[in-house]
Amino acid sequence: MDEREARASLKELGERLAKARGGLPPKLAPRGAPPTQDALAFGLRIGLELVVAVVVSVAIGWAIDRWLGTKPAAMVVMFFLGIAAGMWNVYRAVTGMGMKVGARGGKADATGDDEDED
Amino acid sequence: MALELHPLEQFVIKPIVPLHIGKIDISFTNSALLMTIAVLLATVIVVIGTRREELVPGRVQSLGELAYEFIGNMIDDTVGTDGQRYFPFVFTLFMFILFGNMLGLIPYGYTFTGQIIVTFAMAAVVFVGVTLIGIWRHGWHFLSFFVPHGVPIVLLVLLVPIELLSYLIRPFTLSIRLFANMLAGHTMLAIFGGFAASIGILGLLPLGLDVLIFFLELLVAVLQAYVFTILTCLYLNDAINLH
């Protein structure tokens, strides 16, 4: 089976599945993830965000300073931006807003307008 | 008796077959050896698992099917069916990391996922790949990714750099998380192992602790492979379903 055929048959299968699930698109079908494993993985995921964000930002700031000779302005600015970015990442992960940079679409996803854009 | 502990010695890269091209050292090292074994083992499980497709799977076949379905469902749940196109990459990544972590737990083995350059190389491939996929699918529209919705223009001056920064940080958190977990776990095992070896009969205590830590490390090995993979999926989701 070549790829196009495979994709066509997958699509057909998806449609049949969606019908069987009562018209919901496949993404929205109720799914029960194993809660403990997910929670543990989630916790391990969050830990680093804050620290790394600050370290990486300060490093970028240091590089900008070296490049433009603006010591230490960029480093100071990047330090605070780094804190903000780290907190923002953690907040986004915790509230589960789909992990999206741009932070939109929490609602849009829930209503299920599953637009295919390409 | 002096305690001789070298808990970090296990991470030293030793050349097995020295090879040099000009000034570049491309020796086949213990790290490379373990990577080769990981790739071979993962391939063997998948190939043998699918050779005879039994209705009631045997041991190897159910291992292969388990891994396949695990990743398949993960992509479906996080990205949607559209993401199945990238299944081969995600599956390869998962198997490679999982086997790397697991093989590292075999005594006298080597943990290549405990090398920051290895994990960073993988995270960098994910980061660059996902960004390119985003640009390829959405063109310049991809940049709207960094502009939060419904925010006054004055605030955008502040928010766009933060969004950009939190995007740039991804490969670092992704790689450091895996690397640090492996490094810390194996160092801990080696330290307690060192105690057990050097304090005689009392050494039974750290030895027992080591056994417990070993089980914890088994869990961490699987979990970190899972975390790396699911984050890859989530990043992929960002790039594919921009809205």
Mutation for B interface: A24, A42, A99, A109, most B CBs within 10 A:
A99
**Res B34: pLDDT:** 94
d(C-alpha B202, C-alpha B196), whole Å:
8
Rounded Cα gap, residues A85 and A79, in angstroms: 10
User: What pLDDT was estimated at residue A117?
Assistant: 37
Residue-wise pLDDT tens digits, B78-122: 888 888 899 999 999 999 999 999 999 998 889 999 999 999 999
Looking up tokens 């790290």, which residue turns up? B31
Look at A104 and B243 and tell me if their CB atoms are within 8 Å: yes
Interface contact B163-A117, CB threshold 8 A: no
Residue B137 contacts A, CB cutoff 8 Å: yes
Residue B85's Cβ-count burial label (10 Å; 0-12, 13-18, 19+) is middle
> What is the share, in percent, of chain B residues with pLDDT greater than 90?
54
Give me the pLDDT at residue A101, please.
Answer: 44
Instruction: Taking residues B180-187, report their average pLDDT.
Output: 92
Over residues B138-145, the mean pLDDT reads: 88
- Work out the burial of residue B137: count CB atoms within 10 Å of its CB; fewer than 13 is exposed, 13-18 middle, 19 or more buried: middle
Tokens of B136: 């390829």
Q: Is B16 helix (H, G, I), strand (E, B) or coil?
A: strand
With an 8 Å Cβ cutoff, is B169 touching chain A?
Answer: yes
Judged by CB atoms closer than 8 Å, whether chains meet at A48 and B238 is answered as no
Interval B215-224: pLDDT, tens: 999 999 999 9
Share of chain B above pLDDT 70, in %: 98
Looking at per-residue confidence, does B183 or A98 come out higher?
B183
B168 has a chain A CB within 8 A of its CB:
yes
What are the pLDDT digits (tens) for B35-60?
Answer: 999 999 999 988 888 887 777 778 88
Nearest C-alpha in A relative to B165? A85
What is the model's pLDDT at position A10?
82
Interchain contact, A81 vs B176, CB within 8 Å: no
Do the beta carbons of residue B240 and residue B90 sit within 8 Å? no
Closest CA of chain A from B78, distance in Å: 8
Per-residue pLDDT, averaged over B60-82, amounts to 89
Complex confidence, ipTM: 0.75
Beta strands in chain B (DSSP E): 15-17, 20-21, 24-25, 28-29
In this complex, do B167 and A101 lie within 8 Å of one another by their Cβ atoms?
yes
Mutation site for B-interface testing, chosen from A4, A7, A52 by largest number of B Cβ within 10 Å: A52
- Assess A96–B contact: CB distance below 8 Å, yes or no: no
Q: CB of A98 within 8 A of CB of A105?
A: yes
Chain A partners of B150 at a C-beta cutoff of 8 Å? 104
Provide, as residue numbers in chain A, all residues whose Cβ is less than 8 Å from the Cβ of B149.
102-104
Which residues of chain A have a pLDDT value below 70? 1, 22-38, 96-118
Q: Say if the Cβ atoms of B145 and A102 lie within 8 Å.
A: yes
Mean pLDDT of B217-242: 91
Cβ-based contacts of B144 with chain A (< 8 Å): 102
CA-to-CA distance for B142 and B104, rounded, in angstroms? 39
pLDDT tens for each residue of B18-31 = 888 888 888 899 99
User: Quick check: helix, strand or coil at residue B54?
Assistant: coil
If you average pLDDT over every residue of chain B, what do you get? Answer: 89
Residues in chain A with CB shorter than 8 Å from the CB of B223 are 37, 40-41, 44
**How close are the terminal C-alpha atoms of chain B, in Å?**
65
Range B120-133 average pLDDT: 96
Give the CA dihedral B151, B157, B162, B164, nearest 10 degrees: 100
Q: How far apart are CA B216 and CA B203, in angstroms?
A: 20
Whole-number CA gyration radius for chain B: 22
Please indicate if any CB of chain A lies within 8 Å of the CB of B65.
no
Interchain CB distance below 8 Å, B169 and A103 = no
A14-73 residues touching B, CB cutoff 8 A: 14, 26-27, 31, 33, 37, 40-41, 44-45, 47-49, 52-53, 55-57, 60
Contact criterion met (CB below 8 Å) for B206 and B192: yes
Instruction: Give pLDDT, residue B222.
Output: 93
pLDDT of residue A23: 57
